[in-house]
Amino acid sequence: GEGLPRPGQTRLIVVANQKGGVGKTTTTVNLAASLALHGSRVLVVDLDPQGNASTALGIDHHAEVPSIYDVLVESRPLAEVVQPVVDVEGLFCAPATIDLAGAEIELVSLVARESRLQRAIQAYEQPLDYILIDCPPSLGLLTVNALVAGQEVLIPIQCEYYALEGLGQLLRNVDLVRGHLNPTLHVSTILLTMYDGRTRLASQVAEEVRTHFGDEVLRTSIPRSVRISEAPSYGQTVLTYDPGSSGALSYLEAAREIALRGIGVGYDAGHAHIGA
Q: What character string, x for contact with Mg ion (CB under 5 A) and - otherwise, covers 117-136?
A: --------------------
Q: How far is the CB of 66 from ligand ADP (least distance, A)?
A: 23
Q: Would you give the DSSP letter of residue 138?
A: S
Q: How far is the CB of 23 from Mg ion (least distance, A)?
A: 8
Residue 94's alpha-carbon distances to 57, 104, 124, in angstroms, are 11, 18, 12
Q: Does 25 engage in binding with Mg ion (CB under 5 A)? A: yes
Q: How far is the CB of 136 from ligand ADP (least distance, A)?
A: 9
Could you tell me whether strands 130-134 and 11-15 are parallel, antiparallel, or unpaired per DSSP bridges?
parallel
Which residues, at least 6 apart from 86, have a Cβ–Cβ distance to it below 8 Å?
Answer: 58
166 binds, among ligand ADP, Mg ion, none (CB under 5 to 8 A by kind): none
Cα dihedral 211, 213, 214, 217, rounded to 10, equals -110
Count other Cβ atoms within 10 Å, centred on residue 89: 12
Cα–Cα distance measured from residue 139 to residue 108, given in angstroms and rounded to the nearest whole number = 14
- Tell me whether residue 52 or residue 97 sits nearer to Mg ion (CB atom): 52
141 contacts 68 by C-beta, under 8 angstroms: no
Residue 220's alpha-carbon distances to 192, 252, 268, in angstroms, are 8, 10, 11
23 binds, among ligand ADP, Mg ion, none (CB under 5 to 8 A by kind): ligand ADP
Q: Does 24 engage in binding with Mg ion (CB under 5 A)? A: yes
Q: Does 61 engage in binding with Mg ion (CB under 5 A)? A: no
- Tell me whether residue 41 or residue 48 sits nearer to ligand ADP (CB atom): 48
Q: How far is the CB of 61 from ligand ADP (least distance, A)?
A: 15
Which residues, at least 6 apart from 58, have a Cβ–Cβ distance to it below 8 Å?
Answer: 85, 86, 87, 235, 236
- Tell me whether residue 46 or residue 66 sits nearer to ligand ADP (CB atom): 46
Q: Which residue is nearest to Mg ion (CB)?
A: 25
**Residues at the interface with ligand ADP (CB under 6 A):** 20-26, 52, 137, 193-194, 222, 224-225, 228-229, 247
Q: 30-59: which residues touch Mg ion (CB under 5 A)? A: 52
- Tell me whether residue 20 or residue 84 sits nearer to ligand ADP (CB atom): 20
- Tell me whether residue 42 or residue 142 sits nearer to Mg ion (CB atom): 142
236 binds, among ligand ADP, Mg ion, none (CB under 5 to 8 A by kind): none
Query: What are residue 12's DSSP bridge partners?
Result: 131
134 contacts 46 by C-beta, under 8 angstroms: yes
- In the complex, the residues that contact Mg ion under the rule CB under 5 A are 24-25, 52
